[in-house]
Structure 1
Amino acid sequence: MDTKIASPKAASRREKGTGALTVAPPAASRARVVSSEQKTPLRGALAGLSVESHEPIGKQIFRSLREAIFTGLLAPGTPLSEKEVSEAFQVSRQPVREAFIKLVEAGVLQVLPQRGTFVKRISPRKVREGRFIREAIEAAVVRKAADAITDAQLAELTANLREQKAAARLNDTAAFLACDEQFHFLIAQSIDCVAAWETIQDIKAQMDRVRYLSLHEVSPLDLLIKQHALIVSGLKAHDPDAAENAMRAHLREILVSLGPVAQLNPDWFEPDEPEAMRLML
């Protein structure tokens, strides 16, 4: 089964309800403080999901549950039942089991012997590791893009920035995050290296969960848009150093927001590991 998430454009379509999957976005007027006791029941979360027949059902279930976890519809500690999910999608348990395995591999589900399968808490160490690997890949990508990007591709990035600003004005977190995904995807696409973006999808899984919790007060949309604009400026100037430095600064924003977000949502995070933290800064 293919475990990669859909392209950012597809993700954007899903947010509009016209693609394979739609998830009702979480309210995000501030950095959300959510108790693990306030878990959305599984059936309630799945009620916001829809499937499209042309995709393999296992892939749809994987992406549906992954997105529900990332957006907080399924909070840490929420139990997941193969039986309940299979009934919700009206499929056999086999594709559900396959989706569960992939989610365990992505680090967002855990299986406790004799107890069941549960949404896993966020690991700060995994967030930092994912950020470290993602930065290495995207810094190399944007550096190459600064030399190779075309005017038409720059126009696409500029249009994407406008969409980000429009989403921010409407306080539409889901739309902004879809634009953010597409922004990074477009840079990889500009050097014909979409595989680089696909490679980091599972690597950045823990980062994505923090992003949904950090927007507004901790990492406000306007700040992220300014960081994106600096990346585009470096690309427009065909300045590899400027583009790379802007990308590195942008991806290190997660290190700034991680501590405050963990303090606001302690039940969502595993205990930190100070030794690992020093190594990954």
Structure 2
Amino acid sequence: MDTALPFNNNEPVNQQIYRLMRKDIVECAIAPGKLLSEKDIAARFAVSRQPVREAFIKLAEAGLVQILPQRGTFVMRISAKRVADARFIRQAMECAIARRAALNITERHIMLLEHNLHRQELAAQNQQVREFFSLDDDFHRLLTGIADCPLAWDIIESIKATMDRVRFLSLGQVSPPQSLISQHYKIFDGVKARDADAAEQAMRDHLQELIFSITPISQQNSDWFDDK
């Protein structure tokens, strides 16, 4: 069945397709090795092939697909090296964000973070994995806003697609949502107390979670991973 894109004058069609395809790949709806057809995806979203082709280029830049001339576009296997590099860069940036957020925090910011954390708890209780995954991102995006550096989130978003695939796969026994929520609360407590050192350390500990989760996840899904 075709899925026409919602009319949105504020976002180019290729960006909308990229965002939806990225979500499908990250959330494992499209498996590694899958051949993506420009024709089929254009039909799915009721658009021409040109914005689909442009979306494929952005997906390739994010490390999610490989475009092979004369052969087609394939969803890439997960690169453990790329995941490690993205985590390293993200940790460096978000630790600095946590420090600045602790200095900039206001009562309104506290309310926004508390609301997000409450919604995370509800999503975890109701086993709404995709909702929790989105709220997790929103928590980190809020901190970037509090730090008054929205460009930082744009950069983080551009490098973390492969990392997100591991994050999504780990939302079970490896890194259950409740464990991540506890880590989020430690970050929140540090920021709320205006304790920059505590906020930074809590963020560092939180983002090191991926170091411990990638090995069991790659063992459980060996056909999804690449040694490179």
- Band of TM-score, shorter chain: over 0.9
Residues 238-247 or 191-200, more deviating: 191-200
Query: Which aligned pairs between 1:1-281 and structure 2 lie closer than 5 A?
Result: 51-54=5-8, 55-271=11-227
Cα deviation 1:58-111 (Å, max 9, x = unaligned): 111111111110111110011001111112222221111100111111100002
Secondary structure of the residue that 1:208 maps to in structure 2? Answer: helix
**2:5/2:46 contact within 8 Å kept:** no
User: Which structure has greater helix proportion?
Assistant: 2
Gaps of 5+ in 2: none
**Number of equivalenced pairs:** 226
Paired AA for residue 157 in structure 1: L
SS in 2 for 1:110: strand
Supply the distance in 2 between the matched residues of 1:50 and 1:218 (Cα, whole angstroms). Answer: 36
Secondary structure of 2:167's partner?
A: helix
Task: Return the offset for 1:159.
Answer: 1.4
Which region of structure 1 is more displaced relative to structure 2, 135-144 or 54-63? 54-63
Distance in 2 of aligned mates of 1:216 and 1:104:
28
2-structure distance, mates of 1:133, 1:253: 14
Letter in 1 for 2:20: S
In the superposition, the TM-score normalised over structure 2's length comes to 0.95
Shift of 1:115: 2.1
Q: Which runs of no fewer than 5 residues in structure 1 stay unpaired?
A: 1-42, 273-281
Distance in 2, Cα, partners of 1:261 & 1:138: 24
Deviation at 1:50, TM superposition (A): 5.2
Q: Distance in 1 between matches of 2:30 and 2:54?
A: 19
Q: Deviations along 1:218-263, whole A, 9 cap, x unmatched?
A: 0011110000000011011111110000001101101110000000
Which letter does structure 1 place at the counterpart of 2:195? D
* Helix, strand or coil at the partner of 2:158: coil
**SS of 2:66's equivalent?**
strand
Amino acid across the alignment from 1:214 = S
The two structures, once aligned, show a CA RMSD in angstroms of 1.3
Question: Any runs of at least 4 consecutive aligned residues in structure 1 with deviations exceeding 4 A, and if so which?
Answer: none
Cα gap change, 1:259 to 1:50, in 2 (>3 Å): farther
CA–CA separation in structure 2 for the residues paired with 1:89 and 1:183: 30
